[in-house]
Structure 1
Amino acid sequence: MKLPSLSRIRTGALLALAALAGAAGAQQPTKLRFALDWVFQGPQAPFLVPHQNGCYQKAGLDVTTDRGYGSGDTVVKVGAGSYDVGFADINAMVEYNARQTRPEDRLIAFFMVYDGAALSIITRKDTGVAKPADLVGKTIAAPPGDASRRLFSALAQANGFDASAVKWMNVAPELRETMLARKQADAISGAAFTGYMGARAVGVPKDELVVLRFPQFGSTLYGSALVAKRSYAAAHGATLTALAQCVAEGIATSIQQPAAAIEALYQRDKLINREVEQERMQLSLDWSIVTPWTREHGLGGVDPARLRQSMQEVASALSIPAPDIAEVFTAQYLPARDKRSVPR
C-alpha cells in the first residue's frame, strides 16, 4: 500500500485548519455600538431587554449599549462614527442633517419607536392651564435647547395661538421641575414622562399636575427612532433588521412583563428605584409607543402622509428646509410585520 507523502499530509492538515478557521470566523458575532438618548431609566429598559434575554446573541450580534446625553448629542456621535446606531429624536436628526453638505454624512431613521412624540408642556392645576391656548401670557421654564421648547411653535400653530405670546425663562435642566414646584414658573417644557415624574419627585402632588402632550393637541410630530448613518445602513442592512427585531421584542416584553424589563434595567444600574422606573417606563409605553397606529400597523413604521406634514412643522419651527421624507425614514430594514406586533 502506497502511503501519502509528508508534503501531502502537511497540505491536507493546513487546508483542514484553514477550513476550521473560516468556520470559526463565520460564527463571530457582528459588533455594533448603540447609543441611547439619555441615562438608564424606565424608558430605556426595552433596549436592555435583548441583552438580558439573549436576543442579540441569537441574532448573531455583539451589541454595546451606552447611555446617552440627549438626542442632539446622540445624532452627532452617530454621524461622527463613534456609534453605529442611536436612539434619538427624529426631529433632532433632521436638524443635524440640514447642517451636512454631503449626503453620505447624513443620518436616516429606520425604526420609529415613539409614534407619539414625548414633547410636552407640564403645569399645575392652580395656573388654570387646561389646554395649550391657556398658556398665552404664562411663563414657561426650560433650557434653551429643550426640544419641546424649540418645537413649541408647532403646538401653538396646531392650536391657533401666537407662540410668541408666552414668556420663556432659561433654566438649567436639573432646576426645571423645582421651578414648577416653587411656583417660580407657570409651566415647564420637556419629555412628558421625564418631566411628570421629575415634578412629582420634587414635591408636586400627582393630582395637581397637568401634562399637555403635543400628540394630544393636534401636533403631527413624531418622536424618537433608531437612526444610523446612511452609509452604514447601506452596508449593514441585515444587521439593522436584526437589531430592530430585538428592539421590537424588547418592547413587547416590556408591555407584557414590565418587571422583567425593569430587572434588565437594574442589571445596568443597581441604584434605580424599581417602582419609580417601572411607572416611568409604563408612561413611555402608554403615551408614546402603544398608539392606535402601532396597534393597527405594528411597531417601527410611519404614516408617510403624517411624516410629510410633520416635516413641514419641523422645518417651520427650526427655520430649516423641509426634507423629502425618503431622506428622513426608510422602511427597508423593518422586520417582518408579525415580528413587530403590539401585544394585545
Structure 2
Amino acid sequence: MSLMRSVFAAVLATLAAAPALAETDVKFALDWKFEGPSAPYFVALDKGYYKAEGLNVTIDSGPGSVAGIARVAAGTYPIGFFDINSLMKFRDQNPDKKVVAVQMVYDEPPFAIVSLKKTGITKPKDLEGKILGAPAPDGAFAQWKAFVKENGIDAEKVKIENIGFPVREPMLADGKVDAITGFSFSSFFNLRQKGVPADDIAVMLMSKHGLVLYGNAIMVNPDFAKAHPEVVKGFVKATIKGIIDTAKDPKSAIKSVMKRNETADEAIELARLEMALKDNIVTDWVKANGTGDVDPARLAKSIDQVGITYEFKAKPTAADIFTSEYLPPASERKM
C-alpha cells in the first residue's frame, strides 16, 4: 500500500508541476467605442467562452466601421469587427490584402438618415432641398449613391455638408443641418444625450428603403487565419454564444459593457443594445437560419448595389468576401 501511495503521490506531484496549457493571445478590434452593441463580445469574455476555446482575448475600441479594416489587413489586429461593404472596396483597392469576413453580425445594417421631425423628412425624396450632414468616412454615407438611385432622389437638390463625427449630432440638434447620415443606434441615442426628446427624432433605415446590404461582420487577417484556423473557429464559436446570450438577456449583458465604460449611462446603453438587436442582429432571417451566416445570393446582390456607389476595378464574388468555413453547425447558431 505504501508503494502505491508513493506512486500516487509522485503522479500528483508531476501533474502539479506541469505547466497549464498556454492560451493563445488574440487582439480583437471593435469598430467603435464600448457601447451597448459591443455587449456580446464582453459577455463571451466574462462568461469564459473565449477561455474555453483556449483563447486569451483582448478587446479594443476602434476608429469606425470603415477605417479599422486596415488594422486587420496589417495584422495589428488579426480579427476585427467592421463593415462588410467597405471590405468589398478595400479588397478591390488592395488586391494583395485578402481580408475576409467569417461571421455576419449585423444581418441588416444600421445605416440610417436621421432627422428631427420638425424638418418634415418622412421619406427619402423629402431630402431634396435640405442640407445633409455626413462625415466623409461614415459607413452610412458610403451608401448614399445607391440610396439615391433606389429611391429616385435628385441628388443635385441635396446639399451635402462634410462634418466631423463629434459635431454630427450637435449640428442636427442645433438646426445647422436638416439631417445626418449615421448608424441608427448611435445617432439616435447621441441625440437623446443632447437632450432631444425621443419623439422629436426620426430614423429612416436605409434597409427599409431599397438597400439589401449586410452590415458589420467579424473579419480576419488571411495569414493569421491560414496559420491558426482553429483559433478563428474558436473565436467565432465563442462570439456566437455571446450573441445568443445577449439576445436572451440584454439587461444582464449590458452589465459587461458598463464594467468597461463606467461613465456611460446604463439605461441609454441598454436601449441602444436593444435597438441593435431588434433592427440589425436578430432579424427574421436570423430567427429562421441562425446567426453568423449569409445568404450568398443576397450578398452577391449587395455587391452589385455597392457597385452603384463604387466603381470596381475587378468586382469580387460573394465567396471572395465571406466564408462560412469557420462557423459552427447551424444547430449551435439558433437564436
TM above 0.5: yes
Q: Secondary structure at the match of 2:68?
A: helix
Instruction: Return the offset for 1:73.
Output: 2.8
User: Where do residues 117-266 of structure 1 align in structure 2 (5 Å cutoff)?
Assistant: 117-266=109-258
Q: Which residue, 319, 335, 339 being the options, matches 2:311?
A: 319
One-letter code aligned to 1:191: F
What is aligned with 1:7?
none
One-letter code aligned to 1:91: N
Alignment pair present for 1:334 and 2:333: no
Give the whole-Å Cα distance in 2 for the aligned partners of 1:314 and 1:341: 29
RMSD: 1.9
The CA deviation string for residues 172-201 of structure 1, in whole angstroms up to 9 with x for no partner, is 211111111111111011011000111122
With the length of structure 2 as denominator, give the TM-score of the two structures: 0.91
Q: Secondary structure at the match of 2:66?
A: helix
One-letter code aligned to 1:92: S
Q: Secondary structure at the match of 2:298?
A: helix
Instruction: Return the offset for 1:20.
Output: 7.5
Cα 1:327–1:20 change in 2 (3 A) is farther
Give the whole-Å Cα distance in 2 for the aligned partners of 1:303 and 1:163: 31
Give the whole-Å Cα distance in 2 for the aligned partners of 1:152 and 1:127: 20
With the length of structure 1 as denominator, give the TM-score of the two structures: 0.89
Give the whole-Å Cα distance in 2 for the aligned partners of 1:269 and 1:205: 24
Give the whole-Å Cα distance in 2 for the aligned partners of 1:163 and 1:340: 41
Give the whole-Å Cα distance in 1 for the aligned partners of 2:84 and 2:95: 19
Which runs of 5 or more residues in structure 1 are unaligned? 1-15
May I ask how many residue pairs the two structures share in their alignment?
Answer: 322
Give the whole-Å Cα distance in 1 for the aligned partners of 2:181 and 2:95: 32
Which runs of 5 or more residues in structure 2 are unaligned? 1-10
Give the whole-Å Cα distance in 2 for the aligned partners of 1:203 and 1:157: 34
Identity of aligned residues (%): 36
Q: Which residue, 281, 289, 293 being the options, matches 2:281?
A: 289
What is aligned with 1:70?
64
What is aligned with 1:310?
302
Instruction: Return the offset for 1:319.
Output: 2.4
The CA deviation string for residues 196-252 of structure 1, in whole angstroms up to 9 with x for no partner, is 111122122111111011111120111000001222222222221211121111111
